[in-house]
Structures are given as structure tokens and as C-alpha cells.
């Protein structure tokens, strides 16, 4: 590739959106920009007490325009002419009700302040009842329609959220022409879509959260949904029948969005996917290596060549979908509902008295040091089998075996249990939860050869990563990229734009490699093996007494 050519990756996280411009020849970052969602930051449309977490589409639209334009301003006006592709990843499952034009209902005046008309964020657990009903209902059918999503449907996913919103809000229900994942709506927006029937649905979102499978010729039959609740009768007809892998093009940038962003209509827009799936590609995933995207939660991706997978059905994970990560490979997803969120919760708990400190700079300075100081102190603590012990289900359990009714817990507290000791227990719990996922894959006949760490926690927390290596008893290598998900999106953009024939070539050319690797400390491995047994026993007790 002799000429300069650039691509843009856009990554929508829980709190902010970040965009990067990469040199498609070598993956070098030219510019990056981050935008925090202003309405979300104010806590609007959310109620943590009932696990309601909604995001207004304007936060997404404003963030898209700001970050891409800001990147182009940093890169210089001449570079914009050489941008060939743009792709987007998002958290998931984060769906929204749209009208016949494909517009989210919250962008219409009558629904502008209605949370049910907004995007239902992945960690919104208001639909626990509906998820339980889906799980019970599925047992009545000869065909197991949950077989490709681990056998358990989660309240974090597409159909449970749709049914909850339909039951809760008649006005939204009557105005809904379709129900669309965030990662599928954004390419539709960028390509200038005006008819909901033209939305192209990614196999990533459809397979992992929407029960779409080629073995079912698409979604489960209408009878499955109509007998679950008549409100869903006929709804699958409102959803796109076909699905697409993320290496394919959704279309070209529309004239409106080309003008708004300062780009050309020649720019190809790729099919969207979930953040961890594109992040795994950005982190240069390899077959049988578990790619752990570690942020507020974790999403763990494993890819297996389709010819080697056979007819396995892995219990209790978040889906096994051909082509959801890399075409010609089976993408398997697992994860933890809370990871970085656990540490943020504990930091906020400790920081509560700081609200009485009038000096804002001092308050901010102390808050910013809490996790670092806790990590350093916890790392110095001796390891004893009767140390404080925690389970990591502060936001429920995603895998193995989803249950959002579960709660976190800490045992073994005494008057000597100080903040570093409790932090140590929480870190260990998050790593034990990660180990439970690896154990499940191995039990189900899917080997795990090693770990790849990506995301903010992986880059910034040596103590946590060392504990992870010790608990897992295997090395974990940390990817160099600060923006792995956005980088993965850029790699898919390069493939969709035809710069590379396949995503494997894009990964090889644009991947930045790894900058640190953590290895298990033998004496710690033996300690954590015993502690893992304690974690499993404690978790079983919590689950049986919930």
C-alpha cells in the first residue's frame, strides 16, 4: 500500500464515546477524541434503585459528531480527503424503540423525556421478570431456542427488554415500528436511512442477544413469542430477516453526515457490532486465547475455527455465533456483569466523606488516588486462607449461568478488616469470577490456551492483572493499544472499505502488539487454588439463600 489511506473507528462505552483515526497501512494512531455523555453524567433517566439505566440518543449523536470532527481537526484538513472507511461498536445489548423512519422514539417531541423511548443500556436489569418468563417458556418447546445462547436468557438482552418496555408503556408500544440494537442503528443513521425496513442487522447482535440462528432459519417462530405474550405476536416480521458480518459494508456516508463530519460520501460505513467483539479483533485475538475486555464489566471473547468446533453447545455463556467476531470462526462470548464497577463502587464508598471538603481541587486529587493507593497497599498484604472473602455479583452474574437476582457479599470481616484488606477481597473475587468462566469453557470441551487483556483496567492496574494471572494459573498479555475497541472498529472499517481482503489481514497489518505480560507466581497459585474452592462454596451458599 503506497498511498496514504486512513480509517475511523468509533467506540461507544457505558460512559463515553471515543473515536480514533488510524493509518490503515500500519495501524498508527493519528488522532483520538473522547466525549462524555452529558445527560448520562447528570444521572438523567436512570434509577439505580430499580436497576433502570437509560441513555438518550442525543448523547450518542452529539458524541459521534464531536469526536469525529475533533479527530479531523487534530489531524488536519488534508487528511479528511484520505479517509476511506468508518465503523462503529457499541455496548450491548442496548436496544431502542424506533418509528417507521428508523428514528428512536425519544427523538420525537412527544417522547423526548420518556425513558422507555430511549436506549436501554446493557446493564439495565428492569426486565428480570421477563427474562425468567422466557427461560421457563422455552422449556415448553421441542426445539431448544436458547441452545445457542448458553441455555439461559438474560435480563440484559434484547427480547426481555422489549417485552418489559411493551408491558410498561402502552404509548411507546403503539408507536414502535421496530426494536433496534445501538450497534445496528448507528450505521443506518450514518448512511442516511429513512425507512426502518432498510436497517441492516449485524450477526453479532442478532445471534448473541436476539436468538437469531441459521439453524432456526432466522429468529424462533412467531408461535414462540406469541404464546410468551400476545404483545409480541407478529413482531419478528418487523425485524430484518438477514444478518451481516462486521467486515461487510452497510453503505456509504450520506450527504448530510458527510457534511456534518467533514468527510466525503465516498467513505464506506461498515456493519456494526458489540464493543468486546470488535475489541477482541483490535486486541489481536487468536484461536483458543480468551480476550478479556475489562472495563466497567468484562466481556470475554473466544474464537474457534468452525471446522474444529463440531456440534458443541457450551452451557451458561452469552452465545456461540458463527462469524460474530471473525468470519469462518465461531465466536463465543462470556463475561462478568461487574468488574471495574466493583472497584468504582468501593472507591465511591470510601470517598463519601469527601463531599464535606470544600476545596474542589483537593477533593478531586484525593479521589483520583484512592484506587492506586489501595492497590499498592493490598499488594503488600500477606496471603492467608482465612482472609476476607467476597463474591463478585454486585450487579448480578452474567456467566457462567446468568442470574441478575444474585447479589454480592463479603465474609470473614472483623475489626481488623481495613480498606486495603477489603479491596484485596474484591479484587480476588473479580478474578475468581473470571476463573469460573475459564473453568466452564474447559468443562465443556473448549480449551483455553492463554489470556489477552484489553481495556482500561488491564492497562492501568498491574496489581489486578497479577492476581488475575495467579488465579488463572496462566499468563496474561496486555495489548499496547489504549483504545482497543475503537482500533478493532477501524480494522473492520478497513476491511469493509476494501483496503484489506479480510479482517485477518487488517489485524496483521494494523495490530500494535503487546507491551507487558504477567506470569503466575507459583506460591500464589497454590494459595488461590484453595481460595477458589472457598469462593465456589461461598457463592453456592449465596445462591441457595437468595
Q: What is the pLDDT of residue 2?
A: 55
Could you report the average pLDDT of every consecutive run of 10 residues in the chain (546 residues)?
87 96 97 98 94 97 98 94 98 96 98 98 96 97 97 96 98 98 98 97 97 96 98 95 96 98 98 96 96 91 94 94 94 95 96 95 96 97 96 94 93 97 98 98 96 90 97 96 93 98 96 95 96 98 90
Q: How far apart are the first and last CA of the chain?
A: 59
Say what the pLDDT of residue 295 is: 86
Residue 404: predicted pLDDT: 86
Q: 469 in the Ramachandran plot: left (φ > 0), alpha (ψ -120 to 50) or beta?
A: alpha
- CA–CA dist 36, 21 (Å, integer): 19
Q: How far apart are CA 339 and CA 357, in angstroms?
A: 29
| DSSP per-residue letters across 77-97 | TTGGGGEEEEEEEE-SS-EEE
Q: How far is the C-alpha of 514 from the C-alpha of 507, rounded, in Å?
A: 13
d(CA 225, CA 236): 9
b/e map 363-400, b = 16+ CB within 10 Å: eeeeeeebbeebbebbeeeeeeeebbbbbbbbbbbbbb
Q: Which three cell numbers stand for residue 429?
A: 473475587
Q: Are 124 and 210 in contact (CB under 8 A)?
A: no
Among 213, 211, 253, smallest CA distance to 496 is for 253
In terms of Cα–Cα distance, which of 384, 378, 388 is closest to 408? 388
Q: 345, exposed or middle or buried, with CB in 10 Å at 0-12, 13-18, 19+?
A: middle
pLDDT value of position 1: 59
CA distance 93 to 336: 14
Specify the pTM: 0.92
Dihedral sign for Cα atoms in the order 115, 118, 124, 128? positive
19 membership: H or E segment, kind and range: strand 16-23
Pairing mode, strands 514-518 and 476-479: antiparallel
Q: Residue 481's pLDDT is what?
A: 87
The whole-angstrom separation of Cα 546 and Cα 541 is: 9
Give the C-alpha separation, 43 to 318, whole Å: 28
Strand-pair category, 289-294 with 450-454: parallel
Cell of 297: 464489566
220 and 239 Cβ atoms separated by less than 8 Å: no
Domains of the chain: 6-274 (3.30.420.40), 340-433 (3.30.420.40)
Query: Quick one: how far is CA 157 from the chain centroid?
Result: 12
Q: Could you tell me how many residues make up the chain?
A: 546
CA distance 502 to 248: 10
Q: CB count, 10 Å around CB of 533?
A: 11
Residue 240: the pLDDT is 87
Q: In whole angstroms, what is the distance from residue 388 CA to residue 420 CA?
A: 11
Alpha-carbon dihedral sign for residues 211, 213, 215, 217: positive
Spatial distance between the Cα atoms of 524 and 532, rounded to a whole number of angstroms? 12
Amino acid at each position: 500500500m503506497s498511498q496514504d489511506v486512513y480509517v475511523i473507528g468509533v467506540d461507544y462505552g457505558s460512559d463515553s464515546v471515543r473515536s480514533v483515526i488510524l493509518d490503515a497501512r500500519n495501524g498508527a494512531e493519528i488522532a483520538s477524541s473522547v466525549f462524555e455523555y452529558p445527560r448520562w453524567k447528570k444521572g438523567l433517566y436512570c434509577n439505580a434503585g430499580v436497576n433502570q439505566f437509560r441513555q438518550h440518543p442525543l448523547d450518542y449523536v452529539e458524541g459521534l459528531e464531536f469526536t469525529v470532527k475533533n479527530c479531523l481537526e487534530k489531524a488536519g484538513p488534508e487528511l479528511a480527503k484520505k479517509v476511506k472507511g468508518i465503523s462503529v461498536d457499541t455496548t450491548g445489548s442496548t436496544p431502542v424503540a424506533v418509528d417507521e423512519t428508523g428514528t428512536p422514539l425519544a427523538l420525537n417531541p412527544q417522547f423526548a423525556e420518556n425513558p422507555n423511548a430511549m436506549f436501554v443500556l446493557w446493564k439495565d436489569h428492569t426486565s428480570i421478570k421477563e427474562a425468567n418468563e422466557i427461560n421457563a417458556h422455552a422449556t415448553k418447546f421441542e426445539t431448544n431456542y436458547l441452545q445457542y445462547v448458553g441455555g439461559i436468557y438474560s435480563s440484559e438482552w434484547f427480547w426481555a427488554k422489549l417485552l418489559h418496555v411493551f408491558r410498561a408503556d402502552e404509548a411507546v408500544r403503539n408507536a414502535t415500528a421496530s426494536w433496534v440494537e445501538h450497534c445496528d442503528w448507528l450505521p443506518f443513521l450514518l448512511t442516511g436511512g429513512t425507512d426502518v425496513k432498510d436497517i441492516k442487522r449485524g450477526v453479532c447482535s442478532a445471534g448473541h442477544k436476539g436468538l437469531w440462528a441459521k439453524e432456526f432459519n432466522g429468529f424462533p417462530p412467531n408461535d414462540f413469542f406469541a404464546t410468551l405474550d400476545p404483545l409480541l405476536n407478529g413482531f419478528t416480521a418487523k425485524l430484518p430477516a438477514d444478518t451481516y458480518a462486521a467486515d461487510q459494508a452497510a453503505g456509504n456516508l450520506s450527504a448530510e453526515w458527510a457534511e456534518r463530519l467533514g468527510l466525503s460520501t465516498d467513505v464506506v460505513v461498515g456493519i456494526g457490532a458489540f464493543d468486546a467483539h470488535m475489541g477482541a479483533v483490535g486486541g489481536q485475538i487468536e484461536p483458543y486465547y480468551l480476550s478479556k475486555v475489562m472495563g466497567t464489566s468484562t466481556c470475554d471473547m473466544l474464537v474457534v475455527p468452525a471446522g474444529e468446533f463440531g456440534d458443541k453447545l457450551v452451557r451458561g455463556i452469552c452465545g456461540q455465533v458463527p462469524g460474530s467476531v471473525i468470519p469462518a470462526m465461531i465466536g463465543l462470548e462470556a463475561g462478568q456483569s461487574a468488574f471495574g464497577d466493583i472497584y468504582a463502587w468501593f472507591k465511591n464508598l470510601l470517598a463519601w466523606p469527601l463531599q464535606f471538603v470544600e476545596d474542589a481541587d483537593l477533593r478531586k486529587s484525593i479521589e483520583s488516588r484512592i484506587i492506586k493507593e489501595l492497590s499498592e497497599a493490598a499488594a503488600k498484604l500477606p496471603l492467608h486462607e482465612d482472609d476476607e472473602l467476597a463474591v463478585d455479583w454486585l450487579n448480578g452474574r452474567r456467566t457462567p449461568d446468568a442470574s441478575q437476582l444474585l447479589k454480592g457479599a463479603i465474609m470473614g470481616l472483623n475489626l481488623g478488616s481495613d480498606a486495603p484488606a477489603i479491596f484485596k477481597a474484591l479484587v480476588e473475587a473479580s478474578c475468581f469470577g473470571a476463573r469460573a468462566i475459564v473453568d466452564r469453557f474447559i468443562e465443556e470441551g473448549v480449551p483455553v490456551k492463554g489470556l489477552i487483556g484489553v481495556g482500561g483496567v488491564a492497562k492501568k492496574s498491574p496489581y489486578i492483572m497479577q492476581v488475575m494471572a495467579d488465579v488463572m494459573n496462566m499468563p496474561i498479555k496486555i495489548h499496547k493499544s489504549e483504545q482497543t475497541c475503537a482500533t478493532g472498529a477501524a480494522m473492520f472499517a478497513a476491511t469493509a472499505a476494501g483496503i484489506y481482503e479480510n479482517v485477518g489481514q487488517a489485524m496483521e497489518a494494523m495490530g500494535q502488539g503487546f507491551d507487558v505480560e504477567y506470569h503466575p507466581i507459583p506460591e500464589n497459585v497454590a494459595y488461590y487454588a484453595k481460595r477458589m474452592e472457598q469462593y465456589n462454596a461461598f457463592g453456592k451458599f449465596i445462591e441457595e439463600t437468595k
